[in-house]
Amino acid sequence: MNDGVRFLAKTLRIDQRMIAEMITPGSRVLVIGCGDGELLDLLFRTRQCDARGIEIDMAMVTRAVAHGLPVMQGDADLDLEQYPDGAFDYALLSRTLQAVERPREVLQQMLRISTRAVVSFPNFGHWRMRWQLMRTGKMPNTRSWPRPWYATPNIHPCTIRDFFALCEEESYIVESWMAVDEAGRRSPWRRWLSLANLFGEQAVFLLRKG
Amino acid sequence: MLLECGVMLPSLTIAYCTYGTLNAAKSNAILICHALTGDQYVAERHKLTGRPGWWELMVGPGKPVDTNRYFVICSNVLGGCMGSTGPASLRDDVPVPEGGKAEPWGIDFPLVTIRDMVRAQKKLIEHLGIARLFAVIGGSMGGMQTLEWAATYPECVFAAVPIAAASYHSAQNIAFHEVGRQAIYADPEWQGGRYWEHGRTPARGLAVARMAAHITYLSEQALTRKFGRRLRAGQASPLAAGLFGDMFEVESYLRHQGSSFVRRFDANSYLAITRAMDYFDLAFEHEGDLSAAFAGTPTRFCLVSFSSDWLFPTAQSREIARALNRVAATVSFVEIATDKGHDAFLLDEPDLHRTVGGFLTGCAEHAGLLVP
| B336/A contact by beta carbon, under 8 A | yes
For residue B295, what pLDDT is reported?
96
| A48/B contact by beta carbon, under 8 A | no
Core vs surface per residue A173-208: b (16+ CB within 10 A) or e: eeeebbbbbbeeeebebeeebeebbbbbbbbbbbbe
Residue B27 C-alpha, separation from nearest chain A C-alpha, in angstroms: 19
Q: Report, as an integer, the average pLDDT of B228-251.
A: 78
Please report which confidence band the pLDDT of residue A106 belongs to, taking 50, 70 and 90 as the band edges.
Answer: very high
Q: Report, as an integer, the average pLDDT of A2-17.
A: 50
| B355/A contact by beta carbon, under 8 A | yes
Residue A79 C-alpha, separation from nearest chain B C-alpha, in angstroms: 8
CB pairs under 8 A between A and B: 69
Q: Which residues pair with A191 in a beta bridge?
A: none
Give A-chain residues touching B334 at CB under 8 angstroms. 58, 61-62, 65, 72-73
Q: Report, as an integer, the average pLDDT of A3-11.
A: 38
The reply to whether residue A65 touches residue B327, judged by beta carbons under 8 angstroms, is no
**How would you classify the pairing of strands A88-94 and A114-122?**
parallel
The reply to whether residue B322 touches residue A67, judged by beta carbons under 8 angstroms, is no
Residue B93 C-alpha, separation from nearest chain A C-alpha, in angstroms: 48
**CB hemisphere CA count around B214 (13 angstroms):** 19
For residue A146, what pLDDT is reported?
84
Report whether pLDDT(A2) > 50.
no
Overall size of chain A counted in residues: 210
Give B-chain residues touching A67 at CB under 8 angstroms. 358, 362
The reply to whether residue A66 touches residue B355, judged by beta carbons under 8 angstroms, is yes
Active-site residue list of B: 140, 309, 342
Most confident stretch, A10-19, A148-157, B306-315: B306-315
Quote the mean pLDDT of chain B.
94
Q: Considering only alpha carbons, which residue of chain A is nearest residue B299?
A: A70
CA B13, B14, B18, B24 torsion: positive or negative?
negative
How would you write A134-176 as a 3-class SS string? HHHCCCCCECCECCCCCCCCCCCCECHHHHHHHHHHCCEEEEE
Q: Which domain holds residue A111?
A: 3-123+159-209
Give A-chain residues touching B321 at CB under 8 angstroms. 72, 74
A37 in Cβ contact with A71 (< 8 Å): yes
Give me the residue from B300, B335, B358 closest to A66, CB to CB. Answer: B358
Please report which confidence band the pLDDT of residue A13 belongs to, taking 50, 70 and 90 as the band edges.
Answer: low
For residue A5, what pLDDT is reported?
36
* DSSP H/E element including B72: strand B71-75
| A115/B contact by beta carbon, under 8 A | no
A196 in Cβ contact with A187 (< 8 Å): yes
| B230/A contact by beta carbon, under 8 A | no
Q: Which residues pair with A67 in a beta bridge?
A: none
Q: Report, as an integer, the average pLDDT of B98-102.
A: 83
Give A-chain residues touching B335 at CB under 8 angstroms. 58, 73
| A36/B contact by beta carbon, under 8 A | no
Our CA angle for B200, B40, B274, nearest 5°, is: 55
Rounded to whole angstroms, the Cα distance separating A70 from B308 reads 24
* DSSP H/E element including A30: strand A28-32
Give the residue, B355 or B370, on which the prediction is more confident: B355
Rounded to whole angstroms, the Cα distance separating A113 from B6 reads 43
φ, ψ dihedrals at A179, nearest 5° = -115, 150
Please report which confidence band the pLDDT of residue B371 belongs to, taking 50, 70 and 90 as the band edges.
Answer: low
Q: Considering only alpha carbons, which residue of chain A is nearest residue B306?
A: A58
Domains of chain B (ranges plus CATH)?
Answer: 16-170+280-366 (3.40.50.1820), 174-273 (1.10.1740.110)
Give A-chain residues touching B362 at CB under 8 angstroms. 67-70
φ, ψ dihedrals at B119, nearest 5° = -65, -35
Classify burial at B212, counting beta carbons within 10 Å of its beta carbon; exposed 0-12, middle 13-18, buried 19 or more: middle
The reply to whether residue B354 touches residue A66, judged by beta carbons under 8 angstroms, is yes
Rounded to whole angstroms, the Cα distance separating A157 from A116 reads 22
| B164/A contact by beta carbon, under 8 A | no
Please report which confidence band the pLDDT of residue A183 belongs to, taking 50, 70 and 90 as the band edges.
Answer: low
Report whether pLDDT(B17) > 90.
yes
Instruction: For residue range B214-224, list pLDDT tens digits in order.
Output: 999 999 999 99
Tell me, yes or no, whether A57 lies in a domain: yes
Give the residue, A179 or A15, on which the prediction is more confident: A179
Q: Which has the closest alpha carbon to B144: B161, B119, B122?
A: B161
Q: Check which CATH number belongs to the domain holding A88 and give it.
A: 3.40.50.150
| A126/B contact by beta carbon, under 8 A | no
Give me the residue from B330, B334, B359 closest to A73, CB to CB. Answer: B334
Report whether pLDDT(A6) > 60.
no
**How would you classify the pairing of strands A88-94 and A71-73?**
unpaired
Tell me, yes or no, whether A29 lies in a domain: yes
Q: Report, as an integer, the average pLDDT of B83-109.
A: 90
| B36/A contact by beta carbon, under 8 A | no
| A76/B contact by beta carbon, under 8 A | no
Report whether pLDDT(A10) > 70.
no
For residue A184, what pLDDT is reported?
64
Please report which confidence band the pLDDT of residue A142 belongs to, taking 50, 70 and 90 as the band edges.
Answer: confident
Give the residue, A73 or A5, on which the prediction is more confident: A73
B335 in Cβ contact with A58 (< 8 Å): yes
CB atoms within 10 A of CB B153: 18
Please report which confidence band the pLDDT of residue A9 belongs to, taking 50, 70 and 90 as the band edges.
Answer: very low
For residue A12, what pLDDT is reported?
59
Give A-chain residues touching B300 at CB under 8 angstroms. 70
Give the residue, A12 or B270, on which the prediction is more confident: B270
Rounded to whole angstroms, the Cα distance separating A198 from A126 reads 4
Instruction: For residue range B55-79, list pLDDT tens digits in order.
Output: 999 999 999 999 999 999 999 999 9
Q: Which of A8-17, A54-63, B140-149 bottoms out in mean pLDDT, i.e. has the lowest? A: A8-17
| A62/B contact by beta carbon, under 8 A | yes
Tell me, yes or no, whether A135 lies in a domain: no
Tell me, yes or no, whether A138 lies in a domain: no
Phi-psi label, residue B26: left if phi above 0, alpha if psi -120 to 50, beta otherwise: left
How far is CA B162 from each of CA A55, A98, A100, B346, rounded to the nearest angstrom?
20, 34, 30, 13
Q: Which of A105-114, A177-186, B128-137 bottoms out in mean pLDDT, i.e. has the lowest? A: A177-186
Report whether pLDDT(A182) > 70.
no
Q: Report, as an integer, the average pLDDT of B257-282.
A: 97
Q: Which residue of A61, A62, A67, A83 is the best one to mutate when testing the B interface, meaning the one whose CB has the most B CBs within 10 A?
A: A62
| B152/A contact by beta carbon, under 8 A | no
Give the ipTM: 0.85
Helix/strand number for chain A, H first, E second: 9, 7
Percent of chain B whose pLDDT exceeds 90? 88
Give me the residue from B335, B351, B363 closest to A73, CB to CB. Answer: B335
Instruction: For residue range A69-103, list pLDDT tens digits in order.
Output: 999 999 999 999 999 999 999 999 988 899 999 99
For residue A1, what pLDDT is reported?
32
What is the 8-class DSSP label of residue A206? E
A44 in Cβ contact with A51 (< 8 Å): yes
The reply to whether residue A62 touches residue B300, judged by beta carbons under 8 angstroms, is no
Percent of chain A whose pLDDT exceeds 70? 89
Tell me, yes or no, whether A22 lies in a domain: yes
The reply to whether residue B361 touches residue A68, judged by beta carbons under 8 angstroms, is yes
Please report which confidence band the pLDDT of residue B262 belongs to, taking 50, 70 and 90 as the band edges.
Answer: very high
Give the residue, A11 or B225, on which the prediction is more confident: B225
For residue A197, what pLDDT is reported?
94
Report whether pLDDT(B234) > 90.
no
Q: Considering only alpha carbons, which residue of chain A is nearest residue B354?
A: A66
Q: Which of A19-23, A108-112, B169-173, B179-183 bottoms out in mean pLDDT, i.e. has the lowest? A: A19-23
φ, ψ dihedrals at B238, nearest 5° = -55, -25
Quote the mean pLDDT of chain A.
88
For residue A15, what pLDDT is reported?
66
Report whether pLDDT(B200) > 70.
yes
For residue A8, what pLDDT is reported?
40
Most confident stretch, A44-58, A196-210, B58-72: B58-72
Tell me how far apart the terminal alpha carbons of chain A are, to the nearest angstrom. Answer: 36
Core vs surface per residue B5-34: b (16+ CB within 10 A) or e: eeeebeeeebbbbbbbebbeebbbbbbbbb
Q: How many domains does chain A have?
A: 1
Tell me how far apart the terminal alpha carbons of chain B are, to the nearest angstrom. Answer: 37
Rounded to whole angstroms, the Cα distance separating A63 from A202 reads 26
